[in-house]
């Protein structure tokens, strides 16, 4: 089958790979219809996190069930599905407590398990997420990143009527804007340094657009909130700069949720760090997208709001490409040769 395989640092190749076969009674093989590039894929491609050399890459996908194992009862050939790509050990202390996202051995397909940048992918039956007919395949391919975002919102104590700031309008930030509205935010502030990203933020529901190059973001937030600040601030940019700035956005007693991973050291100026203490902020980390019972309510909730149209991924997708363009696309992303939103591959094309 056609695939994208990772061999080393910035070495991804479009080539043939063995089609997956049923080996266990609970195996499910999916014909991949759409598969997206995740920010973690870019990081692993450029800096080589955990992976098996020559493994099929990728993990955000949807497709049609092609084959099932002998003990699979509730999934049948032809079903439209998304895949939860995450594997947990079930044995560590966190797993035994039902805190699956904190599993000591957590990993996703595309690292040790063959991934989804291919014509076919394989997962255990419990990792299969059915999707309704009114959710198309490219929308369903973004169930995973959407589940990552709502996992973070479930960690907050946010109430309807809250004001929320989202720092960073990449794929995760644009989903966070929509989840903030679903959770009852009366006003969402989108913060970025790129006006084109802010325009997409407006399209998906942001009420106030803030370009932080014009004036420090907290100063602009204070102007809009009568010097109070927001109830919840989401850090989704994953940069060392925004990872400090975000502490100045919430009101006293507010919350900060980190959804972005900064791939560099964070040096926080005293001004920002003191906000944590003086304003008695609650700082929350959020990791992955699973909970008990596996894969968790994050997945069923995401599918529901995709089916109602309240999660709209269409404005987020900037490129729709065949797998053959994978190596060139990764190169263009990593070398910033053009602006990219969500990149979606379609293995059936070319």
Every domain range in the chain assigned CATH 3.90.180.10 = 2-145+289-345
pLDDT at 48: 65
DSSP label at residue 318: E
pLDDT at 263: 75
DSSP labels, 249-317: SEEEEEEEEE-S--SS-----HHHHHHHHHTT-EEEE--SS--SSTT-HHHHHHHHHHHHTSS--GGGE
Tokens 């266990």, residue? Answer: 24
Q: Note the CATH number of domain 156-285.
A: 3.40.50.720
Reading the block at residue 218, the tokens are 């907290």
pLDDT at 349: 85
Distance of CA 58 to the CA centre of its chain: 13
Under 8 Å CB-to-CB from 323, ≥6 apart: which residues? Answer: 2, 3, 4, 14, 117, 118, 345, 346, 347, 349, 350
Q: Is the dihedral of CA 151, 152, 153, 158 positive or negative?
A: positive
Separation of alpha carbons 97 and 87, rounded Å: 16
Report mean pLDDT in 10-residue bins for the chain, 350 residues: 95 97 98 96 81 93 98 98 98 98 96 96 98 98 98 98 98 98 98 97 98 97 97 96 97 96 88 98 97 98 98 98 97 92 92
* Crossing angle of helices 326-334 and 39-47, rounded to 10°: 80
3-state secondary structure of 84: coil
**Whether the Cβ atoms of residue 178 and residue 311 lie closer than 8 Å to each other:** yes
By CB atoms closer than 10 A (0-12, 13-18, 19+), residue 64 is: middle
Every domain range in the chain assigned CATH 3.40.50.720 = 156-285
Q: Note the CATH number of domain 2-145+289-345.
A: 3.90.180.10
Angle at 199 between CA 196 and CA 202, to 5 degrees: 155
């Amino acid at each position: 089958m056609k695939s994208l395989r990772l061999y080393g640092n910035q070495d991804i190749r479009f080539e043939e790979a063995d089609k997956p076969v049923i080996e266990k009674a609970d195996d499910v093989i999916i014909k991949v219809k759409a598969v997206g590039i995740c920010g973690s894929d870019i990081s692993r491609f450029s800096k080589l996190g955990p992976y098996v050399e020559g493994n099929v890459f990728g993990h955000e996908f949807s497709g049609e069930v092609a084959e099932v194992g002998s003990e699979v009862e509730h999934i049948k050939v032809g079903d439209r599905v998304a895949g939860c790509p995450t594997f947990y050990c079930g044995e560590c202390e966190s797993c035994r407590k039902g805190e699956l996202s904190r599993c000591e051995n957590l990993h996703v397909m595309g690292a040790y398990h063959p991934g989804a940048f291919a014509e076919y992918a394989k997962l255990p039956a419990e990792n299969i997420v059915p999707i309704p007919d009114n959710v198309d395949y490219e929308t369903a391919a973004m169930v995973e990143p959407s589940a990552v975002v709502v996992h973070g919102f479930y960690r907050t104590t946010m109430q309807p009527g809250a004001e929320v700031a989202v720092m960073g309008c990449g794929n995760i930030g644009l989903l966070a804007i929509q989840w903030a509205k679903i959770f009852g935010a009366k006003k969402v502030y989108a913060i970025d340094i790129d006006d084109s990203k802010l325009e997409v933020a407006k399209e998906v529901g942001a009420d106030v657009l803030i370009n932080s190059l014009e004036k420090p973001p907290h100063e602009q937030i204070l102007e809009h909130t009568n010097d109070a600040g927001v109830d919840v601030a989401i850090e989704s940019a994953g940069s060392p700069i925004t990872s400090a700035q975000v502490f100045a956005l919430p009101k006293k007693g507010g919350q900060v949720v980190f959804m972005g991973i900064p791939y560099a050291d964070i040096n926080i100026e005293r001004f920002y760090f003191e906000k944590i203490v003086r304003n008695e902020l609650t700082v929350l980390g959020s990791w992955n997208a699973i909970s008990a019972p596996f894969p968790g309510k994050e997945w069923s909730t995401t599918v529901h709001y995709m089916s109602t149209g309240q999660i709209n991924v269409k404005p987020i997708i900037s490129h729709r490409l065949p797998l053959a363009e994978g190596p060139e696309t990764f190169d263009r992303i990593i070398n910033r040769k053009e602006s990219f939103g969500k990149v979606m591959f379609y293995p059936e094309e070319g």
